[in-house]
Amino acid sequence: MAKAFSGIQPTGQIQLGNYIGALRNWQPDPGSFYCVVDLHSISAPWDPKELRQNTRSTAALLLALGLGEGSHVFLQSHVHEHAELAWILNCLGRMGELNRMTQFKSKGRGKEDASVGLFTYPLLMASDILLYRVQEVPVGEDQKQHVELTRDIALRFNSRFGPVFTVPEPRIADLGARVMSLRNPLEKMSKSDPDPNSKILLTDSDEVISKKIMTAVTDSGREVAYEPKEKPGVSNLLEIASTLSGEPIEALAARFRDQGYGAFKRGVADIVVEVLRPLRQRVEALTADVSEIDRRLEEGRAAAEREARPMLAEVKEAIGLL
């Protein structure tokens, strides 16, 4: 069984793309670590009150998914080894490779007021992963480049200072690795998209979910078919429905082919509602007990520290820090 690490930013309410592309693939295997990466989320402007709320609600979601049983759930800022290793990796990462990161290009390139943290974010992410000697990093497509950078940094470090780091692999699902916005199917669904109708939140009620799907942008014509280039809107909805129901895309497309977009969207909405409802109810039950969330995060912190502390000590020794 491969050990895994992955993280999610508390930059807002968790959206369906986060669930389909990442959370759904996180397994509660012993030795795996799942983290609310709160330090990453302050690389863009933030509101302290919202950050506190989003951090707890994101932690509640990971716990509701059962990731605190077997595997461990914790907050990045609770384990200072992440920030400390990040400084060391900042001194090994190269300007050229960070300049090539597409996420920085789209979010920060050319913006005078973008934070330095947004530029160096991938090296904090490399630290998150490398502290836990994991083999796999289950992520959505948009994070693949950052995991590849982590591999490059680990290989560079190991060849210069000895075999300290485990070199991880990204694990990306074949389907649903890039769920698209419901308003613009050429753009990724994102927590931070200001248009509420572009994304389904895991906290949305059944009615809100149905309404958002019924008003999702589709394509010209009326035939339901999986053709991501010609029919990006319909194909996105087919991917969402297929990943959540387990029904193959071809079977779904055949079932709805001649029924028109209205009936198709109703079918997709029913699938999404049925999957998210029980999860939302578990999160609501957990959120009512803040002290229980904090107690379980404390357990996660202790487990994470037991791995991260000796790993950082090994790194310091290898690079010559006394």
Hey, what are 208's tokens? 């809100």
Binding ligand AQP by CB under 6 A: which of 3, 5, 11, 275?
A: 11
Q: Which one-letter amino acid corresponds to residue 239?
A: E
Nearest distance, CB of residue 62 and ligand AQP, angstroms: 11
Q: Under the criterion CB under 6 A, does residue 315 sit at the interface with ligand AQP?
A: no
Instruction: Give catalytic status of residue 231 as yes or no.
Output: no
**Of residues 57 and 157, the one with the C-beta less far from ligand AQP:** 57
Q: Under the criterion CB under 6 A, does residue 171 sit at the interface with ligand AQP?
A: no
Q: Which of 3, 191, 199, 212 is catalytic?
A: 191
For residues 9, 14, 15, 21, the Cα torsion angle rounded to the nearest 10 degrees is 50
Of 154-162, 182-190, 225-233, 258-266, the window that binds ligand AQP (rule: CB under 6 A) is 182-190
Contact yes or no for 199/211 (Cβ under 8 A):
no
Contact yes or no for 71/34 (Cβ under 8 A):
yes
Work out the number of other CB atoms within 10 angstroms of the CB of residue 318: 16
**DSSP letter, residue 314:** H
Of 14-22, 201-209, 267-275, 301-309, the window that binds ligand AQP (rule: CB under 6 A) is 14-22
Q: Under the criterion CB under 6 A, does residue 190 sit at the interface with ligand AQP?
A: yes
Question: What strands, in cross-sheet order, belong to the sheet with 33-36?
Answer: 5-8, 33-36, 72-75
Q: Under the criterion CB under 6 A, does residue 178 sit at the interface with ligand AQP?
A: yes
Q: Pattern of binders to ligand AQP over 125-154, x per CB under 6 A?
A: --------------xx-xx-----------
SS (H, E, C) 289-312: CHHHHHHHHHHHHHHHHHHHHHHH
Work out the number of other CB atoms within 10 angstroms of the CB of residue 284: 12
Binding ligand AQP by CB under 6 A: which of 56, 188, 265, 301?
A: 188
Q: Which of 3, 49, 105, 107 is catalytic?
A: 107
Q: Under the criterion CB under 6 A, does residue 17 sit at the interface with ligand AQP?
A: yes
Q: Under the criterion CB under 6 A, does residue 242 sit at the interface with ligand AQP?
A: no
**DSSP letter, residue 25:** G
Binding ligand AQP by CB under 6 A: which of 62, 179, 213, 238?
A: 179
List the catalytic residues.
107, 188, 191
